[in-house]
Structure 1
Amino acid sequence: MLDSKASELVMKRISIAFPGVQALSDVDFRTAAGRAHALIGANGAGKSTLMKVLAGAHDHYTGSISIDGKEVRIRTPKDAKDNGIQVVYQEVDTALIPNLSVGENIMLEQTVHNMKGKHLIQWKELHRSAQAILDRMNIKVPTKKLVQELTLAEKQMVLIARSVSRECRFLVLDEPTAPLSHSETDQLFRLIRLLKVEGVGIIFISHRLPELYEICEDITIMRDGKLVVSEELANIDQHKVVELMLGARMEGQFPHAKKEIGKKRFEVKDIRDGDKVNGVNLHVCKGEIIGLAGLVGAGKTELCRALFGAAPIVSGQLFIDNRELRIRSPYQAVKNGIALVPEERRREGIFVEESVSVNLTAAILSRFTKWGPWLSKSKEKQAAVEIIQSLGVKTPSANAKVSNLSGGNQQKVAIGKWLLVDADVYIFDEPTKGVDVGAKRDIYELVAELAGRGKCIIYASSEMSEMIGITDRIYVMFDGQVVKELETQHTSEEEILLHSTGGLLT
């Protein structure tokens, strides 16, 4: 149970609705300072909405929020910060100013506040203050380095440093480990443990269940906008957590449909992008799923982009059915039957502020045009509704904005638009990043279904279990090169990891 003497944050009977959907219904949430509290649920369960209420991003909720027994008013982000509540969202790039330094980003709010009083910026003091915060948290990043030069993990650390530059009593981390390598995750957990010792309460949103057991003491599970259970994590095992998230027992994560693998269809010879990809060779047969395995930074994403014509400089050869392709842009890739579901779905895979219907039909508008440029809205909507139903996208309607959907449903939209294109080669780059176990299974089944239709599938992931569970062959990447080709049925997660870390290189 929570320590009654510790500082407590309590949310009571929180409800909020958006057009066409009741997002939260009388949700209670309680956590304490100095502890890490896991907040989980399937995509669309309401956990992010609950935290946006806490962060002051949604002001039309009903219910109450109190800290240490005193009710507080939180209707704006400023209200939340004034009460010591800070949030680090998953898309770290959108929260930082890339052409400012680390120190300027950490001290941004204080700088803006001082400028309102027309004070001159004391640059030495700014960097000294930022360095003191970084030293306190043992973060090794120069304060004068530009944010655009940092790794994703370093950017996340800078955001956390900014959060604790003001009084921070409760810190919300939304899918913080999704873009991180194992070593970077270890560094983040070291920082979380330090913050807990300092008395900061951590609210930790993640779909990686093993991580919760490593860093959290308490857990709250949500489903369909309602509280399911709130408990000490030690009192509940992983299988039960999944059951409570989904509302049903999960029999098996990966599909096991029998399929026939045909002749070689897609071939890659000596692909280079002038930076991260250094002479990759691979092939995919009809109906085959090949995996691109490797740790964060191995070159998987860069290879996917190069194959899709999205890299600025590409050399090498691509073939479909022995026909050489000339691909220098994504447009040419699509014209030649190649589709990419990118890792950064919000930045590259979807139009966030457009409707579900617009997103699903964006890649093949010509199918819905008549008499020149005129678009048939009825045909477009009909096609979108069919994809929504086939993929089980949870949305109030085809006209709803994609920005209002959960992460898992946004990913389904990012994938769904390519189903209308009917490509020959489908490239999936970390397609399950930041989605729950139920949505993951939906994506696995979709990938298997495409392979069953004879499509060539390239599936890039840093999750070793996915490599074993869904692929037929695996190309392991290390330092921009393929270092090993493996038959999935004859390998193991341990062997994949060994090659992913550069082991046994000859």
Structure 2
Amino acid sequence: MDKITLGTRNVSIEFPGVKALSNVDFEIETGVIHALMGANGAGKSTLMKVLAGSNPGYTGDVLYNGNPVELRNPAAAKKLGIQIVYQEVDMALIPTLTVAENVMFNDLVMNMGHKQFVNYGKIRKDAKEALARLNVNIDVRRMCGTLTLAQKQMVLIARAVQSACNFLILDEPTAPLSDTETEELFRVVRHLRKTENLAVIFITHRIHEVLQICDSYTVMRNGEIVDTTPITPKTTSKEIVDKMLGRSFEENFPKQVCEIGEKAFEIDHLTEREGRVQDISMYVRKGEIVGLAGLVGGGKTELCKTIFGVYKKSDGIIRLNGKELNIKTPSDAVKNRIALVPEERRKEGVLVAETVTFNTTAASLDDYCTFSFVNDRKAAKKAEEYVKSLSIKTPSIKQKVAYLSGGNQQKVAVAKWLAADCDVYIFDEPTKGVDVGAKQEIFTLINNIAKEGNCVIYATCENSELLSITDRMYVMFDGRITAELETAKTSEDEIMHYATGATTVYTG
């Protein structure tokens, strides 16, 4: 098959106060799987949005087969076979439409106004064919709102390939997926490269996956391309991380010693109304970081949300400092000095359309109000303090959070609760979509919260993180706790043993 190339020449783009790309030269050809890597804010997503037609304000040239083309809107990019699947798959799908309608959505929109009637038989037939090209079997009559995240991702990839796709850009595609779902995605990607001669560009922070699936990688730093290199058996994760950070990186986070006090936060036989969490008993001491381990779907997020009042409990008791709490809503949790930094930060953790100042003071507005008026100067001063102390990279406290990198959005979400001065901090997948440099900063931040004598619950699928930052952990499977482990005396193998539902004692 003939190769097609896509690239940029001297492409630059500026946002208010930030030069996001600086004279970037980039090229990829069809038939390869290529990773685009870099710290949060390095320019990865900005560059890909230029290629996808979503960043029209660029200077320089986009090249298609060596010839300059204008990509000032997504339609222009799609005509050249350039498709992008963003990390927030729910934002790109309409849950009340069927799988078939979502797969064929572009065709439906293009035909609006030209045809009076929609041939739903043909829509379903074409959608089935698109999914068959991925070797994926999903009932095209199902409503998209009933699908798993992995299935939704396949629907979006099917939408892309049915539109004569040559270049498929996947933005953090494995972030919400389990190991099994990730393997299925990799199978689809390899299948597309082989049968469709696509170029697939991965924007990702998961270096072990890059080494597993990609042919080559490009590293960006501060809006510039640092290096483009083929992946060989000698390529190491440390080599890639060093290029991303511009310095040597120590892979294991050194756990800081915190003085652990008495039991402060206790849960007895907690059960969620819909059965997503069943008979959970656990405790956290002052100054202690307790992990929630388990695979995707094991019940970690559901437990966090039940504690915080998002999900309703049908049974069980929650106590803080010996006092029984009556938590029916998130508002009740906040009043009782419990904070939740949720997994889906853009949907639940921050208000992306609001400023850094608004977000950092949102959970403690009473502190900045005089009667019914917000003291803007006082709120701005507090926001400046957190921007400085948490090293939040933003051109201004007036910047909308939507324009910050993932790691900086996460820091804003944490700052909101620091300002509220809570006793219990629950972190659900706090490093999801965050680069290794920002990950270290978040670890330091969480350690400092524990040092203040607060209780910390840290939920994640990343066992290496649990082994780095926690003191103890509870392993979950199918909404229940299967083991309580002391971090210093356990291993990834033992965690996985109980995370897969084993009822036998781990013997090594």
Q: SS at 2:37's partner residue?
A: strand
Distance 1:108 1:429 in 2: 33
Contact 2:9 2:61 in 1 (8 A): yes
What whole-Å deviation, never above 9, does each CA across 1:256-279 have from its counterpart, x for those lacking one? 322221110000011111221011
Cα RMSD (Å) of the superposition?
A: 1.2
Contact 2:273 2:311 in 1 (8 A): no
Q: Please state how far the C-alpha of 1:69 moved relative to its aligned partner.
A: 1.9
Alignment map for 1:55-70 (pairs within 5 Å) = 55-70=52-67
Unmatched 5+ stretches in structure 1: none
Residue number among 200, 203, 218 corresponding to 1:202 in the alignment: 200
Contact 1:293 1:467 in 2 (8 A): yes
Distance 2:267 2:100 in 1: 44
Distance 1:484 1:278 in 2: 14
Alignment map for 1:402-481 (pairs within 5 Å) = 402-481=401-480
Structure 1 residues 378 and 34: alpha-carbon distance in aligned structure 2, compared to 1, 3 A threshold: same
Distance 2:16 2:261 in 1: 48
Distance 2:66 2:113 in 1: 34
Distance 1:123 1:384 in 2: 52
What whole-Å deviation, never above 9, does each CA across 1:326-352 have from its counterpart, x for those lacking one? 111111101101000000000000000
Residue number among 148, 154, 157 corresponding to 2:154 in the alignment: 157
**Deviation larger for 234-243 or 138-147:** 234-243
Alignment map for 1:171-210 (pairs within 5 Å) = 171-197=168-194, 198-210=196-208
Who is 2:31 aligned against?
Answer: 34
Q: SS at 2:55's partner residue?
A: coil
Unmatched 5+ stretches in structure 2: none
Who is 2:365 aligned against?
Answer: 365
Distance 1:61 1:69 in 2: 18
What whole-Å deviation, never above 9, does each CA across 1:106-143 have from its counterpart, x for those lacking one? 01111122223124211111101111111221112100
Q: Please state how far the C-alpha of 1:160 moved relative to its aligned partner.
A: 0.4
**Deviation larger for 487-496 or 227-236:** 227-236
Contact 1:253 1:441 in 2 (8 A): no
Q: How many residues align?
A: 502
Q: SS at 2:36's partner residue?
A: strand
Q: SS at 1:116's partner residue?
A: coil
What whole-Å deviation, never above 9, does each CA across 1:352-391 have from its counterpart, x for those lacking one? 0100010000000111111x11111111011001111111
Who is 2:253 aligned against?
Answer: 254
Supply the AA of the counterpart residue of 1:457: V
Alignment map for 1:304-383 (pairs within 5 Å) = 304-370=304-370, 372-383=371-382
Alignment map for 1:273-292 (pairs within 5 Å) = 273-275=272-274, 276-292=276-292
Distance 2:178 2:132 in 1: 23
Who is 2:135 aligned against?
Answer: 138
Alignment map for 1:87-126 (pairs within 5 Å) = 87-126=84-123
Supply the AA of the counterpart residue of 1:466: E
Q: Please state how far the C-alpha of 1:249 moved relative to its aligned partner.
A: 1.1
Q: Please state how far the C-alpha of 1:305 moved relative to its aligned partner.
A: 0.4
Who is 1:492 aligned against?
Answer: 491
Q: Please state how far the C-alpha of 1:248 moved relative to its aligned partner.
A: 1.2
What whole-Å deviation, never above 9, does each CA across 1:62-81 have from its counterpart, x for those lacking one? 01111222222100010110
Contact 1:255 1:448 in 2 (8 A): no
Residues 1:44 and 2:69 aligned together: no
Who is 1:211 aligned against?
Answer: 209
Structure 1 residues 123 and 505: alpha-carbon distance in aligned structure 2, compared to 1, 3 A threshold: farther
Distance 2:31 2:251 in 1: 36
Who is 1:293 aligned against?
Answer: 293
Supply the AA of the counterpart residue of 1:407: G
Supply the AA of the counterpart residue of 2:269: D
Contact 1:255 1:444 in 2 (8 A): no
Residue number among 209, 213, 227 corresponding to 2:225 in the alignment: 227
Distance 2:158 2:21 in 1: 31
Supply the AA of the counterpart residue of 1:428: F
Distance 1:233 1:390 in 2: 38
Who is 2:398 aligned against?
Answer: 399
Distance 1:282 1:140 in 2: 40
Supply the AA of the counterpart residue of 1:208: R
Distance 2:456 2:467 in 1: 15
Q: SS at 1:176's partner residue?
A: coil
Supply the AA of the counterpart residue of 1:117: H
Who is 1:16 aligned against?
Answer: 13
Query: Under a length normalisation based on structure 1, what TM-score does the superposition of the two structures give?
Result: 0.97
Who is 2:264 aligned against?
Answer: 265
Distance 1:138 1:236 in 2: 31
Who is 1:386 aligned against?
Answer: 385
Q: Please state how far the C-alpha of 1:252 moved relative to its aligned partner.
A: 4.7
Distance 1:490 1:246 in 2: 32
Distance 2:389 2:252 in 1: 19
Supply the AA of the counterpart residue of 2:147: L
Q: SS at 1:28's partner residue?
A: strand
**Deviation larger for 232-241 or 221-230:** 232-241
What whole-Å deviation, never above 9, does each CA across 1:199-239 have from its counterpart, x for those lacking one? 00001011010000111111110011111111112264211
Residues 1:503 and 2:502 aligned together: yes
Structure 1 residues 225 and 431: alpha-carbon distance in aligned structure 2, compared to 1, 3 A threshold: same
Q: SS at 2:437's partner residue?
A: helix
Contact 1:294 1:461 in 2 (8 A): yes
Distance 1:406 1:380 in 2: 22
Q: SS at 2:358's partner residue?
A: helix
Q: Please state how far the C-alpha of 1:255 moved relative to its aligned partner.
A: 3.1
Contact 2:280 2:481 in 1 (8 A): yes
